[in-house]
Structure 1
């Protein structure tokens, strides 16, 4: 869907005329051509129109994204979605199939590293990752001088924690929490940090058996997430790991059982008690 088509769809959903939609921001004749795909629209004018009607920018960008990204990027996103679904369903055949397709993608180095480590963890073969792979991942991560502001770097860190040394890992977690513990973080970034906290807790409990100040701070971050349903799973995951670190497996089992009853069984299949 191109920008004009998405604007028309949003306008129709709101029940507005073209004049009501543009609110004098641009000329009606120009806007009409934008909707028909004859002319483009500046980013400045586009966002003024979206904000004037409280249209969710993330949802709007989602409508048009596939029209403006390359075929290779589109394929990479589809594969990433497929393999995440396969992980949630513990579908070994689909995971292996997706892995091979990901490795054949041109470029997408960070995605490949993330999937390779995730698959190794799923196979319980993290110890079999080569030294070269581990060093390459850390080298790729350290290329990002401003990694705290890089979505790619944060995703790489979230999925590749096992390749970092304990010192590197703890230092990075400290920086993440220091930077993003305020209430000024956007919702997508808040979720990314929640994922990082969740992955760190999982890795510490099941792999390194470390219980340190960073664990305490990650638990606190998840506990303090607001009550939007979007964050519910992360808050519950934080409570699960709190009980696990405290040795209260009875409470942890109750939480896991409740999540299974609510239909989250595939997402908690790796939560061994």
Structure 2
């Protein structure tokens, strides 16, 4: 009943924001007496009724569930997600000390092997210590990565690949990137989140190839993937990254500098700190 109460409270909050009565809120989907008990957490609501009520009022479903999702997860899962987000932010801001702090906490977790591998490699890259990663460690990462037969559609494998490009040999990287881009050039990606995951991998791959002088065979394909992303605001940074790396790989450093300087001007100084031209 506690979770029913949380959903009811969120529905009530939305109803108040919209300035609706309970009867206007339900729009004939369910009985008013039932809805009144839902708001008070005395009764639950079916998924069908919940979606219908939210859709009637054009409520952002993703935002609604983001508000209640923490209450349906264990405290450990919430802590892991917060650590992962902190590590991502440290990576985006090139904040080495923050990344090391996150790594220390992540290594204390029970399980979560993939997150640990991703974090270890990220910090090693920050500190220019990639060459200190042992062969044994790299073999473990590769084994974890290839453990899934259909890795190109497995979320954990894609997350691992995005952060662990540096541990693969050039030959392995060429094979895996070719598999990934070939798969998603033929398959229509329904999920915006999955589109972004592949975009992140392409962005990280281009960064790695250029700044670490890796002669990857999939640079043009990665650029093409970013360039073909649609013009939703959500993909804006990836479209800019395409312009930036396209300029770099074509030797137009001044154009790349202009793009970076513009992002700095727009307030993204920390985000592009690692873009050393």
> When the two structures are superposed, what TM-score results if normalisation uses the length of structure 2?
0.89
Q: Which residue of 2 aligns with 1:203?
A: 208
Q: Which residue of 1 aligns with 2:81?
A: 77
Q: Which residue of 2 aligns with 1:185?
A: 190
Q: Which residue of 2 aligns with 1:18?
A: 22
Show CA shifts across 1:159-198 (max 9, x none).
1111223333233323332343466533222222211110
What is the root-mean-square deviation in Å for CA atoms of aligned residues? 2.1
Q: Is 1:121 aligned to residue 119 of structure 2?
A: no
Q: Which residue of 1 aligns with 2:43?
A: 39
Structure 2 residues without counterparts, runs of 5 or longer: none
> When the two structures are superposed, what TM-score results if normalisation uses the length of structure 1?
0.90
Quote how far apart the aligned CAs of 1:207 are: 2.4
CA contact (8 A) 1:5 1:36 kept: yes
**Whole-angstrom distance in 2 between the partners of 1:147 and 1:15:** 47
Quote how far apart the aligned CAs of 1:75 are: 0.9
Q: Is 1:102 aligned to residue 106 of structure 2?
A: yes
Q: How many residues get paired?
A: 272
Show CA shifts across 1:235-269 (max 9, x none).
11111111111111111111111111111111111
Query: SS in structure 2 opposite 1:153?
Result: helix
Quote how far apart the aligned CAs of 1:211 are: 4.7
Compare relative contact order (CA 8 Å, sep 6+) and give the higher one, 1 or 2.
Answer: 2
Query: SS in structure 1 opposite 2:269?
Result: helix
CA contact (8 A) 1:211 1:245 kept: no
Q: 1:180 to 1:9 in 2, by over 3 A?
A: farther
Quote how far apart the aligned CAs of 1:208 are: 4.6
CA contact (8 A) 1:120 1:126 kept: yes
**Whole-angstrom distance in 1 between the partners of 2:46 and 2:148:** 30
**Whole-angstrom distance in 2 between the partners of 1:193 and 1:105:** 27
Give 2:176's match in structure 1, choosing from 158, 169, 172.
172
Q: Is 1:63 aligned to residue 59 of structure 2?
A: no
**Whole-angstrom distance in 2 between the partners of 1:32 and 1:47:** 17
Show CA shifts across 1:70-108 (max 9, x none).
111111111122223333333333222211011111222
Residues 9-18 or 238-247, more deviating: 9-18
**Whole-angstrom distance in 2 between the partners of 1:4 and 1:35:** 4
Q: 1:205 to 1:91 in 2, by over 3 A?
A: closer
CA contact (8 A) 1:147 1:154 kept: yes
Residues 179-188 or 242-251, more deviating: 179-188
